[in-house]
Amino acid sequence: MSELLAVYERSGITADVYSGGTLSVTSPIDGSEIARLHETPVEDMPNVIARANAAFKIWRDVPAPVRGELVRLWGEELRAAKADIGHIISIEVGKIVEEGLGEVQEGIDICDLAVGQSRQMFGKTIVSERPGHRIMEQYHPIGPVAIITAFNFPSAVFCWNASMALIAGNPVIFKPSEKAPVSGIATINALHRAMAKFGRAPDGLAQIVIGTVPQSAALVESHDIPVISATGSTRMGRIVGRKVAERFGRRILELGGNNAMVVTPNADLDMA
């Protein structure tokens, strides 16, 4: 445990973050408690959303290639913290260490891709039937993006969504699974370090919300969150999809696991 606490400290997860809260986080490896986090008060969710919308009004006017520079810095921070974040993922999710490291590498790779995308937001110039007239296609930021992730990929899925949202001009609110929030905290802390180096990121550009269903519901039901990205079960997707559609929001759903488990005759069936 002392080794894990040292990793926490290097990842910017201090004792006041990983202890003293009401949300118990346990490792599937041996069932031991690895953190006790403070949940975001549900009554504070409107303030979280308001901060994101205030940040949006600033961030949307920053040129896309400049926004890409923030994501580039995030990729560098992920490279520097790869071993520590990978270690946390391994303990919190039960993956082998190489899988944990591979997940962080996915985050690094998507940051590289997003930096290139920040200079390729091309639009079309379309022929018009009117003389002296042209039709121009242009992309505009849409607003805060809420990212709700699942247990099995606690770091990479946030990176996939957040890197693209940020270069497009949109703030992000991250709600990790209550079963694997520590990996999420370590990942967004790397983004916060990048924001500090960037020096021009508005307050509220990237926030994390810790909790369970009530915190997720506050994001899903808010008319001030135009896009919800949710990863999880088909049951969860049916609920989220319907609620977001009812308010004419946009949703990105990745649902229903397709990772098979091969159980050999001599396996521990209870463990499997």
Write down the domain spans for the chain: 41-119+140-255
Confidence of residue 50 (pLDDT cuts 50, 70, 90): very high
Confidence of residue 261 (pLDDT cuts 50, 70, 90): confident
| Segment 120-131 mean pLDDT | 92
Q: Considering only CA atoms, which of 187, 167, 173 is closest in space to residue 112?
A: 167
pLDDT in tens, 177-218: 999 999 999 999 999 999 999 999 999 999 999 999 999 999
Q: What is the per-residue pLDDT for 270? A: 84
254, containing H or E segment: strand 250-255
For residue 15 the two structure tokens come to 């004792």
Query: What secondary structure letter does DSSP report for 166?
Result: H
Q: Give the ranges where 60-180 is alpha helix by DSSP (H).
A: 64-93, 97-117, 156-167
| Segment 85-113 mean pLDDT | 97
Reported in sequence order, the residue ranges of 109-211 that DSSP labels E, i.e. its strands, are 125-126, 135-136, 145-148, 172-175, 206-208
pLDDT at 173 over 90: yes
pLDDT at 41 over 80: yes
Give the fold, CATH level 3, of 41-119+140-255: Aldehyde Dehydrogenase; Chain A, domain 1 (3.40.605)
The whole-angstrom separation of Cα 199 and Cα 35 is: 31
pLDDT at 257 over 70: no
CB proximity list for 125: less than 8 A, separation 6 or greater? 134, 135, 136, 137
**Considering the entire predicted model, what is its pTM?**
0.92
The whole-angstrom separation of Cα 131 and Cα 126 is: 13
What residues are paired with 206 via a beta bridge? 172
Higher-scoring residue by pLDDT: 1, 42 = 42
**Radius of gyration over every alpha carbon of the chain, rounded to an integer in angstroms:** 20
Higher-scoring residue by pLDDT: 78, 264 = 78
Q: Considering only CA atoms, which of 65, 240, 48, 74 is closest in space to residue 158?
A: 74
Q: What is the per-residue pLDDT for 262? A: 84
- Asked if 117 and 26 touch (Cβ cutoff 8 Å), the reply is no
| Segment 127-134 mean pLDDT | 91
Q: What is the per-residue pLDDT for 260? A: 73
CB proximity list for 268: less than 8 A, separation 6 or greater? none
